[in-house]
Structure 1
């Protein structure tokens, strides 16, 4: 039996769907150095677990490194991640910032707190990828995130676009990848619980009060009485993003 033991149905789905997407979009190659943006939430922690398994399965070597930017609401919240990385032999960069509190002050007058904080954390992640000579930056977005982003872009920006699966940045020096984009949120939550991942609560004062949350609730109301609508929307938008990536690679 493999070192990760026998997998449940949800866990197998996470591992196989991630592998399928990575292969379809030529996401990584021999010698890839992948920085994994881990927030401590269920999505990113699930990606972390799955990529450690995929690393062992891949027919060529890749390197993994955990990147965690603590937004500053709780200076000790990342302790479970530190312990998990140590237990699983993963290198990690853990950094405490004040991005979250600053996003909720007069310093940030033009943007929403979430936009400001996310922008600052994304900028710092790019800097870390440069400093550690990483070739890839992986985010744990799933199919639900992709669908919500798609409709947010329509309503707020007037453009048709979801989340990129495999995108080049800085003239191709860095690839931003989303290996778990084929997974639905329900499967992610189920598998995470079964793996007993040490996820911690998001205590940001804006959590649950964002435009993204509003659109997500609206979408849920649209397919509440007909699950076929949800399946059709998810499949259509997911296929679009995967096909766009195939044309680029």
Structure 2
């Protein structure tokens, strides 16, 4: 039996679907140094666990490093991640910032708190990738995130774009990847619970009150009475984004 033990159906689905997407989009190759952006939520922690398994399965060596930028609402919230990385021999960079409180202060008058905070954290993650000479930055976005992003872009920006599974930045020096983008949220939550991952609560005051939350709730009302609508939307948008990514690489 493999070192990670016997997998449940949901866990196996997460590992298999992630490998399928990584292969289809030529996501990584031998010698890749992958930074895993971990927020502490179920999506990113699930990605962290799955990528440790994929690392053992891949026919070539890759390095993994957890990256956590604490927005500053709870200075001690990342303690479970510190323990998990220590217990699992995972390299990690974890730092405390004041991005969250500043995003909700008078300093940020022009943008929404979520936009400003996310922009600052993304910028810091890019800097860490540069400092640690990482070749990839992985985010734990799933199929639900892809669908919501697609409709947000349609409504707010007039663009029919979702999330890219594999996208080059800085002239190809860094690739932003989303290895768990084929997974639906329900499967992610189920597998994470079965692995007993130490997920912590999001205490941001804007949590649950964002435009993204509003779009997601609107989508839920559409497919609430007919699961075929949800399946059709997910399949159409997922195929489009994966096909676009496959053509780029």
Q: Structure 1: where are the runs of 5+ without partners?
A: none
**Alpha-carbon distance in 1 for matches of 2:139, 2:109:** 28
**Alpha-carbon distance in 2 for matches of 1:102, 1:111:** 12
**Alpha-carbon distance in 2 for matches of 1:171, 1:160:** 24
Residues 34-56 of structure 1, C-alpha deviation per residue, up to 9 Å, x if partnerless?
Answer: 00000000000000000000000
Alignment of 1:199-214 (within 5 A): 199-214=199-214
Residues 133-169 of structure 1, C-alpha deviation per residue, up to 9 Å, x if partnerless?
Answer: 0000000000000000000000000111001110000
Q: Quote the residue 1:39 is aligned against.
A: 39
Q: Deviation at 1:204?
A: 0.2
Kindly indicate whether residue 131 of structure 2 is the aligned counterpart of residue 135 of structure 1. no
Residues 88-144 of structure 1, C-alpha deviation per residue, up to 9 Å, x if partnerless?
Answer: 000000010000000000100010000000000000000000000000000000000
Q: Quote the residue 2:7 is aligned against.
A: 7
CA RMSD of aligned residues (A): 0.3
Kindly indicate whether residue 239 of structure 2 is the aligned counterpart of residue 239 of structure 1. yes
Task: Name the SS for the 1:28 alignment partner.
Answer: coil
Task: Name the SS for the 2:67 alignment partner.
Answer: strand
Alignment of 1:7-86 (within 5 A): 7-86=7-86
Q: Deviation at 1:77?
A: 0.3
Q: Quote the residue 2:160 is aligned against.
A: 160
Give TM-score, length-normalised by structure 2: 1.00
Kindly indicate whether residue 96 of structure 2 is the aligned counterpart of residue 96 of structure 1. yes
Residues 182-238 of structure 1, C-alpha deviation per residue, up to 9 Å, x if partnerless?
Answer: 000000000000000000000000000000000000000000000000000000000
**Alpha-carbon distance in 2 for matches of 1:9, 1:246:** 27
The 4+ residue runs of structure 1 with deviation greater than 4 A are: none
Q: Deviation at 1:177?
A: 0.1
Task: Name the SS for the 2:55 alignment partner.
Answer: helix
**Alpha-carbon distance in 2 for matches of 1:205, 1:248:** 38
Q: Quote the residue 1:178 is aligned against.
A: 178
**Alpha-carbon distance in 1 for matches of 2:164, 2:247:** 12
Kindly indicate whether residue 116 of structure 2 is the aligned counterpart of residue 116 of structure 1. yes
Q: Structure 2: where are the runs of 5+ without partners?
A: none
Q: Deviation at 1:179?
A: 0.1
Task: Name the SS for the 1:232 alignment partner.
Answer: helix
**Alpha-carbon distance in 2 for matches of 1:228, 1:204:** 34
Q: Quote the residue 1:218 is aligned against.
A: 218
**Alpha-carbon distance in 1 for matches of 2:49, 2:12:** 12
Task: Name the SS for the 1:209 alignment partner.
Answer: coil
Give TM-score, length-normalised by structure 1: 1.00
